[in-house]
Structure 1
Amino acid sequence: MDLETDKHLEVVEAQLDATSAAPNSGFNSRDLILRAARKACSQEGDDLPDQAGQSSSENLVAPSPTYTQADARGSQIPAPISGTLADMLVQEGLTVHERPIVQYTPRSSVPRIARQGVANRLAGQHLAHLLQQAGIDVNVEGVRQPEAASARKHAVTAALAQELSIFKKASGKQVYMNLAARTPADPTFLPSEACHQVPSTEPSAKAEATNASVTPEDGPPQPPAKRQKTTPSSDTIESMREGAVSEGTEQQEGPVMSLETAEINWEAASGAASDSDDNEEHSKSALGGGVKQSDFEIAMDEQEMRQATLHFVKAILNPLYHAQVVDKDLYKKVLHKAVDKIVQTHSLAADASFLIDEASNIQKLVQEYIHHFRNQ
């Protein structure tokens, strides 16, 4: 009796050791554990009572080969297999160099390990789909066959492309995981040569393009398109009125200047404090109305030269004014006097290019005027 008990205990221990290595989760875990236990009993010469009926290999549930829909290219989409079987096909059927590797994305809210798990599941589902099309058994041995080399390559490529599309749609880890859980393997990511084409009842794109390219001369004339009458709204009428009033006028935006700057520019440009006889004669001739074309051109040249000189002298005085070395009144006096003196001295100049050579002399002139008006 003791010998039989010891023998029975040894059998039980062998069964436990054998079943501990069997998968304990997934769709076929129960049948796989029973198969491992039955194999251990057969090695010991004992028989395991069949409590669950026929639990041999014919009881294992293979991935369903039924097709649920067809994509736009005519490839039939199979029902997705379980995640456990998909991971097993990738982890055990593919070598390390053949497995899908997700590229690292810096500063991403989705962990790379989560993306890697989704890529493995999609690769296993794509691989099972391609193996079914090729008539190869959907198991680890079938994946390792030489005939499945192209299927392994296409499955990994499609899995990485589909996982990347899911990653781009997600804004965070939770959104990514929810979206990935609801997304099975999509054969549209497979290359066209890897998909099994089936006859489609839908009109092909080539036929649609041919029908669309028919010119009006080939068919009956089309009726003219009806013109819809639209009533303008009040907003449209107001905008049209405003557009009619402002038509032909261009509004130019420029830098906003202060009142003091505008006053200084106007006084300096107008030459109100100028004592030059040439400017007086020019103003008299302009008021008389008998300005010739040559005189007008000369007046424009003088005005442009005066404006250039004004900006040049202001560039010298502005740093002193902002540093409060020169006040407003002194600024205006020096500006007017210096501009008038420079324009009068270079009245025969064709343009304002003399400012380049006379820059140092003009700066000395401005400094002398500052000292002169301060000592008054």
Structure 2
Amino acid sequence: MKKSLRLLAMILLISSCMDDNQHPDTARIPEITINEPENGFNLNKMSWLRIEPNVAFGDNATYEWSLEGEAIAETKDLMHVFAEPGDYLLKLTASNETGSSSEEVSVFVGDTTYTNNLTRLIEFLPAPGQFVNKMPQWSEGVSADSVLKTAESLLKNNSIVSLGSFGGYVTMGFDHTVVNREGNDFVVLGNANPSWAEPGIVMVSYDANGNGLADDEWYEIYGSDHSRDGVIKGYEITYFRPSTEPENPNEQNYIAWEDNQGQTGFVPKNSFHRQTYFPGWAEDQITFKGTLIPSNITDQSGNGSFWVNPPYDWGYVDNWPNNSEAGQIDISWARDSEGTPVELKGIDFVKVYSCNLAAGGWLGEVSTEVSGFRDLNIQD
């Protein structure tokens, strides 16, 4: 009888050990360890806080971070940005089938002053257009890096750079994270007026991997006209450098292009701008991708003398005058590559590209212009 009881006890012990090995994540309550820096968690407002806790027995756990009692994340690792200075209390709760455990940390967020404009220009490549090689100025032998630095200097001083026809783009970085707060968050400055818009699409990204580079996922801001008839998502166009400059100063068949819709055409030239319209520092053919939105361009005169391009309702650059609320951007309008809305706490990079492929007679092509950036959460 005693042997039978000892044998039963051994079987139960082995069975218990097997259960623990088969379900290590639920056999014990998660154990949280947060390694604080020597001086605690200290950072400035509008910069990312990153916490990567160690959690034992947490393979199948669920997580919740809360800030002053309000849930802010459902991930083990936390990436959060504070809009205002102050002392904050963060709490991480990890739960599994066995139970829950929590750990709290204090965070001090300091105040500081930031530049209310871009602080670096990461990329600049215009598509062909009548202001290309003029805004900024280019001459034979000037490198792409020099053009980038010149364009950066212009934008830092709120002077204009042109992105040319469809696809031309510029990518900006800042000395702080632009926080997604209630309402509109920023405006990219242009030179639109009420009867002549040259809309550009906005894309945003945040420094998810923490390397300071604009190499993380990009999200497109969906404005009022992203769902209109005729919009082509995944549009692609290639422009070809002309072998010679035309003798006719108003040459309509100037810079050839072809797209992924089986269409071909030309960027026209006009007598107001005699320089080459193809970016001088670029390869002999350049390809751009993005969302093509039909322009609102019309000839109100009927004889080609009075062209207008009314703005879209909201959500674009160089679409409304800079002081118009309709020209402001809300980060909450961002969507991923599948068109699904995303919730972003803040952004570190902004890209703008021309989204029209159109021309207005003697006025030339529709080309987005950019002249700086304003974070609406910073009080000047």
TM-score (norm 1): 0.17
Structure number with the higher helix fraction is 1
Larger radius of gyration: 1
Structure number with the higher strand fraction is 2
